[in-house]
């Protein structure tokens, strides 16, 4: 069982908040990061490990960790939650088939069905969306919608007058063992971008986003709905950025140039 009070304190809430309140608070409190797979440590999806990492030690995590922690919290609050696996489309060439390496949640609560996702590091929704194709939803200046594409539902975001696909998924629940298999590939396979590269990101309630990544050259990116700035950074500056911009203190550069905890943890 999840320690709900400790989780809510981690995201700045207490009592019996709504699904939307929990989603927004989680999305703006717990950073997205792949520091463990990037340094060669496989990601555990056991609830006690997720709670220990993201709640007790105040770390972040990537999609499987973030959304499984959210699932546990929402279920403790009385919701029914299904696991769905998605293929990331953002940045993929047209027609490219990527593996199902992203976790999405379908939440049934408060008399409705919701699309929930606090683990899309490239800028996902701050609040849950009504499940299935529908209207455009504006959240802190960003616009999202869910579109139908054959058997898949596709989460899209607006860039100017254009809609950009973020990921697509078949709305059929999968068992945890399928999620564990996808997580094992994502956190250990040498071709996985989460093993090869670094990405740490945060979202704030006002809609601003900050990330540091080496996927396209090591840089700090700051975004608002009005635009973005990209600032190249030196490798030895990253530990300080993690502490000052992402609430992730205690990391140093290891001998292989990977970020490692200054002490075990």
Q: Is 117 a catalytic residue?
A: yes
* Residue 105: exposure state from Cβ atoms within 10 A (0-12, 13-18, ≥19): buried
Whether 49 contacts 36, CB under 8 Å: no
Spot the catalytic one: 26, 36, 117, 165. Answer: 117
Spot the catalytic one: 102, 149, 162, 178. Answer: 102
Q: Scan for tokens 């609050």, then name that residue.
A: 77
Q: Is 63 a catalytic residue?
A: yes
Spot the catalytic one: 63, 149, 161, 206. Answer: 63
Q: What is the C-alpha to C-alpha distance for residues 120 and 201, in angstroms, rounded to an integer?
A: 10
Q: What is the C-alpha to C-alpha distance for residues 165 and 237, in angstroms, rounded to an integer?
A: 33
Q: Is 178 a catalytic residue?
A: no
Quick one: which of 204, 205, 207, 210 has its CA closest to 222?
210
Quick one: which of 81, 87, 79 has its CA closest to 63?
87
Quick one: which of 81, 77, 43 has its CA closest to 63?
43
Whether 212 contacts 198, CB under 8 Å: yes
Q: 12 phi and psi, to 5 degrees? A: 80, 25
Centre a 10 Å sphere on the Cβ of residue 219 and count the other Cβ atoms it contains.
Answer: 15
Sign, CA dihedral 220-103-3-205, equals: positive
Catalytic residues: 63, 102, 117
């Amino acid at each position: 069982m999840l320690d709900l009070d400790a989780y809510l304190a981690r995201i700045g809430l207490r009592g019996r908040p709504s699904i939307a309140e929990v989603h927004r608070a989680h999305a703006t409190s717990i950073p997205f990061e792949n520091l463990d797979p990037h340094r060669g440590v496989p990601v555990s999806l056991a609830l006690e490990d997720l709670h220990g990492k993201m709640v007790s030690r105040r770390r972040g995590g990537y999609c499987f960790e973030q959304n499984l922690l959210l699932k546990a919290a929402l279920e403790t609050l009385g919701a029914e939650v299904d696991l769905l696996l998605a293929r990331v489309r953002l940045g993929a060439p047209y027609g490219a088939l990527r593996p199902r390496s992203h976790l999405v949640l379908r939440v049934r609560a408060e008399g409705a069905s919701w699309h929930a996702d606090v683990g899309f590091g490239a800028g996902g929704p701050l609040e849950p969306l009504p499940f299935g194709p529908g209207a455009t939803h504006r959240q802190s200046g960003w616009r999202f919608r869910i579109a139908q594409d054959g058997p898949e539902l596709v989460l899209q975001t607006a860039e100017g007058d254009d809609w950009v696909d973020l990921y697509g998924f078949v709305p059929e629940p999968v068992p945890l063992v399928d999620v564990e298999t996808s997580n094992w590939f994502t956190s250990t396979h040498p071709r996985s971008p989460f093993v090869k590269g670094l990405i740490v990101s945060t979202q704030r309630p006002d809609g601003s986003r900050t990330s540091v990544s080496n996927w396209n050259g090591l840089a700090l990116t700051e975004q608002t709905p009005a635009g973005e700035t990209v600032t190249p950074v030196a490798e030895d500056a990253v530990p300080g950025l993690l502490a000052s911009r992402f609430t992730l203190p205690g990391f140093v550069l290891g001998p292989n140039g990977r970020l490692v905890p200054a002490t075990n943890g």
